[in-house]
Amino acid sequence: MNSDPTIEKPADGAPETAAQAPAAKTPAAKTPKKPAKPTAKRDQPYFDPIAYGNGPDDSVAATEADENAAVTHHTVTIGGAKIAYTATVGHLVTVDPSSSKPDAKMFYVAFTKDNQTEEQRPLTFFYNGGPGSSSVFVLLGSFAPRRIKTAMPSFTPPAPYQIEDNPDSLIDKSDLIFINPVGTGYSAAIAPNKNRDFWGVDQDADSIKQFIKRYLTKNNRWNSPKFLFGESYGTARSCVLAYKLHEDGVDLNGITLQSSILDYRQAGNPVGALPTAAADAWYHKKLGVHPTPTNLEAFAEEVAEFARSDYLNALRKFPQTDDEVVQKLAEYTGIDKVTLLAWSLDIAAYDSRGNSLFLTTLLKSKGQSLGSYDGRVTGVSSGIAGKIDPNSGGNDPTMTAVSGVYTSMWNSYLNEQLKFTSTSSFTDLNDQAFLNWDFKHTDPTGEEKGVDSKGNIILYTAGDLAAVMALNVDLKVLSANGMYDFVTPFYQTVIDLQQMPLIDKTVRQNLSATFYPSGHMVYLDGGSRTQLKKDLATMYDAATSNHVAMSRIITLQRTTASKIA
């Protein structure tokens, strides 16, 4: 509902106006004066002249370590109720936990419902993945009060684009804070630190932890229920971050893992990828199964059973083959037997240029390839288009379909509606961060789970998640996956979670997994976004309505914090 209009406090350091200054005492007048009308909240635009470099050795000067922000006021209607909220866009300064000296200036966007109490109002911290991605993708596409309109799974035509109120926004359940890690957005290290100092699994999680603690302090939110929402590499970040937060006395109420990658050792596992390939073939009507399945989820479960049994055995025995198994594989994927044998039955294989063999072959007769982030999306793969490096820029058909609307509407929304402007270039995706990323990671047992002796990435973070769930037995975890996502296949996520070293059955009941007829960015599909919002609302209600569990989390925070102090 609408908040009561209140007199706005002057900005930090601004002189009080006559209307804002305390009234002087005067003798009572003979005729009572009418009470003055409350002053509506005023927006506070902000122009940021600081240069935020995104290179490995870039930083901003210590003299530029300010926390200025643009503040604007808005309303949105969710479920028939009108919600007044404040948008805050700017920077928070994090400090080195040892020296307490400023070490990074981190850019964020926060949407907070007006006139709420600290204890009753949850906070959700969002971030994308990469590593090296800003939070612009999840901000504009998912559960913020405003969202872009796309033509997914079709190509979104060039401008003019549209941004609209988001009826699926999570603002009715939680305040929303979108974080941009160092080297993304307008976030940068503070000298003498450099951006590269924050580019690593543990270093990154430590910096996000410091940001969250700074946000809680600056906004008096330490006693609010707390949630994380990470996408893609952001799911690995959430596992590590959740444990680090616990170690610092900050216990969470819930975590959403969207499009998970929790075990890099299984990246490209054909067993985990097969049900996604079958879903793509089902969508494009290329199955050899008769009659054609009508229920995608039931069909996917059938394929998953085949993947973990007959298909797994066939991969292990190859080049020995069972014709019946190869035939069924052809029926499930829409790829002929001769081609499958040439691929050594590996449905997740790539060519020397980084092209997925399955994604470029299924519709090859039409001169099209499928999007790896969303297999429903197709792109031209004939002529010169077939020779473009798929790993350069946004050349994947899925990213091509939406990159234009994201770029244009982010600049429009940030500058014109949120009223934050800057002379710096906004870094939505930072390839330099990815190329310089330190994947070393020490898990809660002290074991190295990031890089092997040969330098191969073996990052495994499901153990961190298991550890924090075992310590915080009230923590709710929702795993959400799109069924057409070939980058982080949904069945591989199921395998990773099943094999997670969490034995206690009662604690495992806090973990749920959901699947949607969408891609890597689940929320870009309208129906999937609406259903995911419902699933999130259910999880939030379960995490915050249990007063006994809430008391245990608060007690756990106090106990852990006292041990650290």
Is the pTM higher than 0.85? The answer reads: yes
Tell how far CA 302 is from the center of its chain.
30
Q: Which pLDDT tens digit goes with each residue over 191-217?
A: 999 999 999 999 999 999 999 999 999
Could you tell me which residues come within 8 angstroms of residue 218 by beta carbon, excluding any fewer than 6 positions away? Answer: 67, 92
Q: Which pLDDT tens digit goes with each residue over 327-366?
A: 999 999 999 999 999 999 999 999 888 889 999 999 999 9
Kindly write down the DSSP assignment for every residue of 517-556, as one continuous string.
Answer: SS-SSGGGSHHHHHHHHHHHHHHHHHHHH-HHHHHHHHHH
Task: Provide mean pLDDT across the span 57-79.
Answer: 96
Handedness of CA 200, 206, 207, 211 (dihedral sign): positive
Is the distance from CB of 410 to CB of 426 less than 8 angstroms?
A: yes
Residue 38 has pLDDT above 80, yes or no: no
**Residue 488: band (very low, low, confident or very high) from pLDDT cuts 50, 70, 90:** very high
CA-based nearest residue to 71, from 125, 114, 39, 101:
114
Helices (H), 58-160: 136-141
Task: Please state whether 333 falls in left (phi above 0), alpha (psi between -120 and 50) or beta.
Answer: alpha
Percent of the chain with pLDDT over 90: 78
Q: Which residues on neighbouring strands pair with residue 147, listed in sequence order?
A: 164
**Residue 437: band (very low, low, confident or very high) from pLDDT cuts 50, 70, 90:** very high
Q: Which amino acid is at 274?
A: L
Structure tokens at 90: 């700017």
Using H for helix, E for strand and C for coil, what is the string for 40-73?
A: CCCCECEEECCCCCCCCCCCECHHHCCCCEEEEE
pLDDT attached to residue 397: 79
**Residue 11: band (very low, low, confident or very high) from pLDDT cuts 50, 70, 90:** very low
Q: Which helix (H) or strand (E) element contains residue 273? A: helix 270-283
Q: Which pLDDT tens digit goes with each residue over 503-557?
A: 999 999 999 999 999 999 999 999 999 999 999 999 999 999 876 666 666 666 6
pLDDT attached to residue 9: 36
Report the chain's mean pLDDT, rounded to a whole number. 89
Percent of the chain with pLDDT over 70: 87
Residue 469 has pLDDT above 80, yes or no: yes
For residues 36 and 42, give the distance between their C-alpha atoms in angstroms, rounded to a whole number. 17
pLDDT attached to residue 497: 96
Q: Which residues on neighbouring strands pair with residue 430, listed in sequence order?
A: none
Q: What is the 3-state composition of the chain as percent helix, strand, coil, each rounded to the nearest 5?
A: 35, 20, 45
Candidate from 30-34, 113-117, 316-320, 396-400 with smallest mean pLDDT: 30-34
Handedness of CA 79, 84, 87, 92 (dihedral sign): negative
Tell how far CA 144 is from the center of its chain.
12
For residues 209 and 252, give the distance between their C-alpha atoms in angstroms, rounded to a whole number. 12
Q: What are the chain's domains?
A: 46-265+420-564 (3.40.50.1820), 268-399 (no CATH)
pLDDT attached to residue 399: 77
For residues 229 and 251, give the distance between their C-alpha atoms in angstroms, rounded to a whole number. 15
Q: Which pLDDT tens digit goes with each residue over 95-139?
A: 999 999 999 999 999 999 999 998 989 999 999 999 999 999 999
For 356, which DSSP code? B
Coil vs helix vs strand at 34: coil
